[in-house]
Amino acid sequence: MCYKILILALLAIVGLINANIYLEEKFENENWDDTWIYSKHPGKEFGKFTHTAGSFFNDAEADKGIQTSQDARFYAVSKQFDAFSNEDKPLVVQFSVKHEQNIDCGGGYVKLFDCSLDQTDMHGESPYEIMFGPDICGPGTKKVHVIFSYKGKNHLINKDVRCKDDVYTHFYTLIVRPDNTYEVLIDNEKVESGNLEDDWDFLAPKKIKDPNAKKPEDWDDKPTIPDPDDKKPEDWDKPEHVPDPDATKPEDWDDEMDGEWEPPMVDNPEYKGEWQPKQLDNPNYKGAWEHPEIDNPEYVPDNKLYLRNEICKLGFDLWQVKSGTIFDNVLITDDIELAHNAAAEVKNTQAGEKKMKELQDEVQRKKDEEEAKKISDKDDDEEDDDDDEKDESKQDKDLNDHDEL
């Protein structure tokens, strides 16, 4: 038994040794921006990140990240690391997002770049390899972007991946495998998965409609036909509207002045609409004609859709209307289990955040009640003063009236 435990422990150690961590950033100290570079791209009004755990948290130190701090700003900051390729290895991109401002419109994603990026000029049009993470704007846009660059063009996922829209910390994880499969996880729970070729339009379709095929002229695709023996009843045709039988000519109606009086029209209860013959099953019905397909000569398979030949920079390139998002726990690795373990504490983090926020909300609620009571009491006092002034004015008037007598 002890021998088996020892073997398992050794295997775990070997796994850790073989694991590659290309980037790990927990923003543990306030000098984080010594290794991150702000963009200075002209024509953009950029905001600054602050180092903080936010207004509610589970651990005041461990939960510190970088927070957007100015409303209606672009944010562009990036970090370089040793270049790598994910050839024949999994690629895992993971980070945490906390929209504690209850974001109304803004991005919460990261971009991975090759080494050609000029970090001081990073902007929305800078070419990237992968864009991944949540994006929220109003009730209509609450999705997780998963975008890959392929042959110079950005390709969006064909599925709608829903993101979290509350105010607590959430881990977003993208796993891309060498077999061209992928997974998207939120808080270590799989929310989407599939095959890269199926869920992105990287390649031309395998099949196309045969351009030489045409529907035969005698192809009957009508499931029913009118009954040739069905005849319209003789009393079918009735007008849709008839004069109101209960209407009477007004007494003051002058035919010479007002013209000939006509009763208003009302719906005819006997109107049956346009007559249609009964339908019968069509004996010649062949079903819906399907255009035959052929192999697409432009389709070229690619078993390396997953491959990123060079990645060496990660950036936050965002626009936010309402600031306050905190980014943290950035991890790029080829070790899926390592990433899973790194996100495993998210439930505890969320529980601590919720507990603290609920206490803050309760304090605020009581404060608001006290303020409302003060305003109400002040209004009551002012009403009493008005009543006293009215009484004094009435007494003065009575005295003046008495003196005149």
Q: Which residues are part of a known binding site?
A: 109, 111, 128, 135, 317
Amino acid letter at 377?
D
The helix/strand/coil state of 339 is helix
Report the distance separating Cα 66 and Cα 327, nearest Å.
5
Burial class (CB in 10 A: 0-12, 13-18, 19+), 270: exposed
DSSP 52: E
CB 376 within 8 A of CB 368: no
Q: What is the DSSP string of 129-164?
A: SEEEEEEEETTTEEEEEEEEEETTEEEE-SS--BPP
CB 98 within 8 A of CB 134: no
The closest alpha carbon to 285, from 230, 358, 224, 362, belongs to 224
CB 317 within 8 A of CB 243: no
Categorise residue 61: left if φ over 0, alpha if ψ from -120 to 50, beta otherwise: alpha
Q: What is the DSSP string of 209-263?
A: E-TT----TT----SEEE-TT----TT----SEEE-TT----TT--HHHH-S--P
DSSP 321: S
Amino acid letter at 246?
D
Element (H, E) at 80: strand 73-84
- The residues pairing with 311 across neighbouring beta strands, listed in sequence order, are 84
CB 92 within 8 A of CB 333: yes
Angstrom CA distances, 187 to 20, 94, 174, 316, 341, stand at 22, 10, 11, 20, 11
Binding site per annotation, positions for an alpha-D-glucoside: 109, 111, 128, 135, 317
Angle ∠(166,156,326) on CA atoms, nearest 5 = 30
